[in-house]
Structure 1
Amino acid sequence: MDWRVLLSCVSLWAGLALAEVGTFDLCRSSFYRQTEPHGFDRTSDDSAQICQKYRGTHFFATLYDKSNRIPLWSAYKLDHGRTKGPPRPNDWFVEPQLWDPNQSREMTSEDGSTLNELRSSQAINEDYQYSSYDRGHLNPFSFQSGVGRIATMTLTNAVPMDPCFNRIRWYKLEKNLKEQLTMNCIGKKGTPYLVTGAVPSGSEKIPIQDEEEEEEEEEEEGEDPQKYNRVSVPSHIWTAVCCNHVDDKHKFSFAFLAENKEESRFQMLQVDELISKLSGLYPNSPSINIFTDDCNSKSKRGQEILSEIRSALYHSFRVFLSDQYSQLLSPRKRSWLDKETSQLMESTNLDQNKLQLTNIGFLMTFPSLADWSSYFEKTYDQDNLACVLEPSAGANPGGVAEGSGSRDRFCIPQQPRSDVSATGWSCVGQVCGHHEGTPYSWCYTSDTKWGYCCLDKCTVNKQSNQYECSQLSGYPMKCSPLYSMVTISGEACRVDHPCGLYGESYFWCYMDYGKGWDYCCSPRHYCGEHGYDYQWCYTADPQRSWQKCTLHAPTQKGGAQCLPPKFQDISDLRY
């Protein structure tokens, strides 16, 4: 059965959930050390504290933003009980107390007679009816057991999520997180406390999907069609995790931050790092705190578990593609993907604290080109992994918000490519191989010729100080690493022509199909001042020829970035 059908098949369960609005006093057991997160409130008129209650029991706590009509966060504990409870209701509950404190303390199904009052302070089911967004849980349905699952089915615990993000990426994160916490926290007699939040985007709201239908309703009933354009679509979703334990050796915490979009990037962080990022995402919130003492965020055990989750996520995305889209992946490509995954996980040089999970790959961040250069040398020489620098101006491909002032560099670890010749020209219509019975590896290239291909890694010969690789019986020949998509002037290289030697003694690339070209910094150097009052870099190996460079020019939004080529046969795949 199609997974989308499975996710959308729910059964209606009629019942009531109760809630306490206005104070967290009755649900402090949902918080680590009985202390709620703070720094997210704007004014008392805009936010409401809700103790989510069902059948006389408080299950979790929510801070609700009435102006944006979404929860800012929900705090809860992982319930590892085995009972599944009633089936999921088809409609979500609402909270009448948000618009009138004198209303009953029961969270109920919508009442048509009070819809206008409900709209004034919260989302209702109608808001999602014609939208393309999922009602995404903050406190996950699957993290609770028994009737506690029904208590999560309230719109005060839901935000608009991109369906691909919610059903694939966030779902897989929750699944792997639950497994790890069950084994490494509950299994060690610890208590897992979690806080999941959403960052209101401000201007982006659930749009009106059927304008003609809404205009007809307005004419017939005198209603405002904009009543459905009211619920903020979050820009980011985040989760902070704390495993509390009497023994500090088993106490740990970590966090996740992700963009609410189809091709989302996961950032896996320490709690203090998440707080720093959230302080820049939430307006006027410089004093955010989630766990009262960050819950031992620097613990080695927390980083080990985070690494295990990262590896499991990478594997699950790979399996998803192999299983669901096997018709697009040849056995050779699946084998290549397996090899890349294994090689990445075995690297001892990659700082896993800087890794972010992208589509089905990992992205690393660096504060400067100097840091990137150091990592490039280690991973290229020792792990046979490389990354490709790319300018971020204009398209902003690295996901850095324009005007954010961020100068991080981004890097995707990747293996050397088999679809380029030794000198760097792209193969055309084939990959490197022993074609036509030749004893040497070659391919036809985009240079309208054929070229030899390397039989092994393209490395620096210590005697000649130049890049060389083997062809036949270890016979050396000159070769070129492909490492950058940006020239010394900060211009982007042509998509099919990254920086390389291409038979010359210096590094360069074409910038367009009119043969316009420019120098590139050497892969063993980088654009910087290097003791002078201007920026420069070597453009040849050994280091002799040099040029001034402008990679740090103010027009580069977010600085230079390291991004991967898309996976070849699935470059346009969306799921």
Structure 2
Amino acid sequence: MFVPALLTCIVLRAFSAQAKVLTGFDECKGFFYKDTEPRGIGQNGKQICQNLEHGGFYYATLYSVHHRIPFYSAYTLDPECSSTAGRTENWHVEPQISQPESQTDYMVREKDSDGKMIKRYQAISSDYRDTRYDRGPLNPSSFHCEEGSTAAFTLTNAAPIDAGFNRIHWKNLESMLRSFLRSRIDSDGGFATVYIVTGTVPDASLRIPQREIPEESERVTVPSHIWTAVCYKHRSDDTKSFSFGYVGENQPEGGIRLMRVTDLNHELSRLYSNQSINIFVGDCFGDSDKLNEVQGMFDKLMNLPVNQGDQMTTDVQNVSRRLKRAVRSYQHSHLTVEGYWCRLDHPCDTHGEDYYWCWIGYGIFFDNWDYCSPPLLGTRAKNGLYCRSNHACSTYGSGYKWCYTDDGDEDMCCVSDDCFSAVNDKRCMSNHRCGYHGYSYLWCYTDDEDNWDYCCKHCDH
């Protein structure tokens, strides 16, 4: 059913040339509609044909050395792939950006690289530590299979995306988009190719991390907006081809707006200080009448407001309500961070990851997931408040354990609720239980050399 799309994927991966930091995208131009890259964005960016040590090209990235984030990544959807849940700690970097004379012309694992050399012109994982931003891949791993999915986890494909926006709104939108596009390709017998470009709008006034050490501070630009443009090209019937785009503010509740590609070009031109921007040649059938159909799918699956302001009372919502009532009676299911219920056949658990998660359902679409907490976890944050019942103490892709607390904030947390549990998986000394000990915060000594850390339960009565 998806044989033509699969053949396209195989051809793209079979290029014999290795990935390089290039002066042009000629070696991986197949990821762009009509082999043409977007115009007007990041003219001084480094052009990367992304690949691993063994394999062909998986997508294309225009990377800003000045901002240490990508301007955009261009990729195609592989409809044969099952969705991929979770994240990975095996992040990659691109040696040739920081060391042009390097003979390594493919991405390498960050932990196997020379960090001091890499960080000269690239972001590294520690830049994201203790910030409220995720390493957000522009090209999502769930749109690819196996090695392609692994290749998405490179810091040249990632930008600082607000944790709430990334883990809830953008993640669910990516999952919805994938479901929608797979359904359309299926209905067209596999005779279509989907070209996607996801990009950033760098904010000149905001950088991370904010640290006291000058050389460690303000290295990575935070985008003000994240955007995606989609070109659906039917291979034989152009009446079935169409395009659309959307853009959202990089904020916890940044509203995501759906629009025609023409309007997205205009919006990005404004955000980029009136540069003339064109993402797809001819806007890829941007004059088609299919935007209303896409809007309807967005409204059903994302609960976005419709233009007329009507209240949503769709069959999807009714099914969701019945599902929630049924799941409430099932003792091993649980509420997720976004307020959905885990599916009956997939209760809240780690499922092989370093955090708790489960599959959730949107009507007929059942390949979305969300973070959750197992029943009766009872963990606390360092301020003494309990972690929210739908948000376990875990790393969530960062270098330390944290959770959302009952007062709506986020903080470092302890993995157990006893008198000797401190943050960062440390234990209080047996003769110094967790407490205030004359200060305004909970703490304890963690060894006999007067080292201490925050803890989570007041026990020094």
Give TM-score scaled by structure 2 length: 0.59
Change (3 A) 1:207 1:126: closer
* Cα distance in 2 for residues equivalent to 1:86 and 1:196: 20
1:169 matched to which residue of 2?
Answer: 169
2:29 matched to which residue of 1?
Answer: 28
* Cα distance in 1 for residues equivalent to 2:114 and 2:408: 44
1:227 aligns with 2:216: yes
Question: In structure 2, what residue type is equivalent to 1:27?
Answer: C
Please report how far the alpha carbon of residue 167 of structure 1 lies from its aligned counterpart in structure 2 after TM superposition: 0.6
1:243 aligns with 2:232: yes
Please report how far the alpha carbon of residue 150 of structure 1 lies from its aligned counterpart in structure 2 after TM superposition: 0.2
1:290 aligns with 2:260: no
Change (3 A) 1:262 1:113: closer
Please report how far the alpha carbon of residue 82 of structure 1 lies from its aligned counterpart in structure 2 after TM superposition: 3.3
Match of 2:46 among 45, 48, 56: 48
Change (3 A) 1:113 1:138: closer
Which runs of 5 or more residues in structure 1 are unaligned? Answer: 1-17, 212-223, 318-338, 346-358, 361-571
* Cα distance in 1 for residues equivalent to 2:204 and 2:88: 30
1:195 matched to which residue of 2?
Answer: 197
Question: In structure 2, what residue type is equivalent to 1:49?
Answer: Q
Question: In structure 2, what residue type is equivalent to 1:110?
Answer: E
* Cα distance in 2 for residues equivalent to 1:57 and 1:191: 19
Give yes or no for contact 1:86–1:146 (8 Å, CA) kept in 2.
Answer: no
Please report how far the alpha carbon of residue 175 of structure 1 lies from its aligned counterpart in structure 2 after TM superposition: 1.0
Identical amino acids, percent of aligned pairs: 40
Change (3 A) 1:186 1:154: farther
Change (3 A) 1:85 1:240: closer
Structure 1 runs of 4+ off > 6 angstroms? 84-87, 572-575
Question: In structure 2, what residue type is equivalent to 1:309?
Answer: F
Please report how far the alpha carbon of residue 206 of structure 1 lies from its aligned counterpart in structure 2 after TM superposition: 1.4
Secondary structure class of the residue paired with 1:249 = helix
1:253 matched to which residue of 2?
Answer: 243
Secondary structure class of the residue paired with 2:20 = strand
* Cα distance in 1 for residues equivalent to 2:177 and 2:82: 19
CA-to-partner distance for each residue in 1:445-475, whole Å, 9 max, x for gaps?
Answer: xxxxxxxxxxxxxxxxxxxxxxxxxxxxxxx
Moved more, 51-60 or 78-87: 78-87
Please report how far the alpha carbon of residue 186 of structure 1 lies from its aligned counterpart in structure 2 after TM superposition: 4.8
* Cα distance in 1 for residues equivalent to 2:197 and 2:172: 18
CA-to-partner distance for each residue in 1:496-532, whole Å, 9 max, x for gaps?
Answer: xxxxxxxxxxxxxxxxxxxxxxxxxxxxxxxxxxxxx
* Cα distance in 2 for residues equivalent to 1:342 and 1:256: 24
Please report how far the alpha carbon of residue 85 of structure 1 lies from its aligned counterpart in structure 2 after TM superposition: 8.3
Please report how far the alpha carbon of residue 248 of structure 1 lies from its aligned counterpart in structure 2 after TM superposition: 1.6
1:270 aligns with 2:269: no
Secondary structure class of the residue paired with 1:147 = helix
Please report how far the alpha carbon of residue 265 of structure 1 lies from its aligned counterpart in structure 2 after TM superposition: 0.8
Change (3 A) 1:289 1:119: same
* Cα distance in 2 for residues equivalent to 1:87 and 1:249: 37
Q: How does 1:333-352 map to 2 (within 5 A)?
A: 340-342=311-313
1:59 matched to which residue of 2?
Answer: 58
* Cα distance in 2 for residues equivalent to 1:207 and 1:127: 6
Q: How many residues align?
A: 296
Change (3 A) 1:159 1:113: closer
Please report how far the alpha carbon of residue 247 of structure 1 lies from its aligned counterpart in structure 2 after TM superposition: 1.0
* Cα distance in 1 for residues equivalent to 2:80 and 2:101: 35
Please report how far the alpha carbon of residue 145 of structure 1 lies from its aligned counterpart in structure 2 after TM superposition: 1.3
Give yes or no for contact 2:84–2:141 (8 Å, CA) kept in 1.
Answer: no
Secondary structure class of the residue paired with 1:342 = coil
CA-to-partner distance for each residue in 1:46-95, whole Å, 9 max, x for gaps?
Answer: x1000001222101000001100000000000112235789854131111
* Cα distance in 2 for residues equivalent to 1:164 and 1:87: 16
Q: How does 1:493-512 map to 2 (within 5 A)?
A: none
Secondary structure class of the residue paired with 2:182 = helix
Give yes or no for contact 1:88–1:150 (8 Å, CA) kept in 2.
Answer: no
Change (3 A) 1:574 1:271: farther
* Cα distance in 2 for residues equivalent to 1:110 and 1:573: 34
How big is the alpha-carbon RMSD for the aligned residues of Structure 1 and Structure 2?
3.0
Based on CA coordinates, which of the two structures has the bigger radius of gyration? 1
* Cα distance in 1 for residues equivalent to 2:85 and 2:293: 36
Q: How does 1:75-474 map to 2 (within 5 A)?
A: 75-82=74-81, 88-103=87-102, 104-110=104-110, 114-188=114-188, 189-208=191-210, 211=212, 224-245=213-234, 246-283=236-273, 286-314=275-303, 340-342=311-313
* Cα distance in 2 for residues equivalent to 1:165 and 1:82: 25
* Cα distance in 2 for residues equivalent to 1:149 and 1:192: 17
Which runs of 5 or more residues in structure 2 are unaligned? Answer: 1-17, 317-337, 340-406, 411-461
* Cα distance in 2 for residues equivalent to 1:75 and 1:20: 16
Give yes or no for contact 1:27–1:51 (8 Å, CA) kept in 2.
Answer: yes
Give yes or no for contact 1:24–1:50 (8 Å, CA) kept in 2.
Answer: yes
Secondary structure class of the residue paired with 2:70 = strand
Change (3 A) 1:49 1:341: same
Give yes or no for contact 1:69–1:123 (8 Å, CA) kept in 2.
Answer: yes
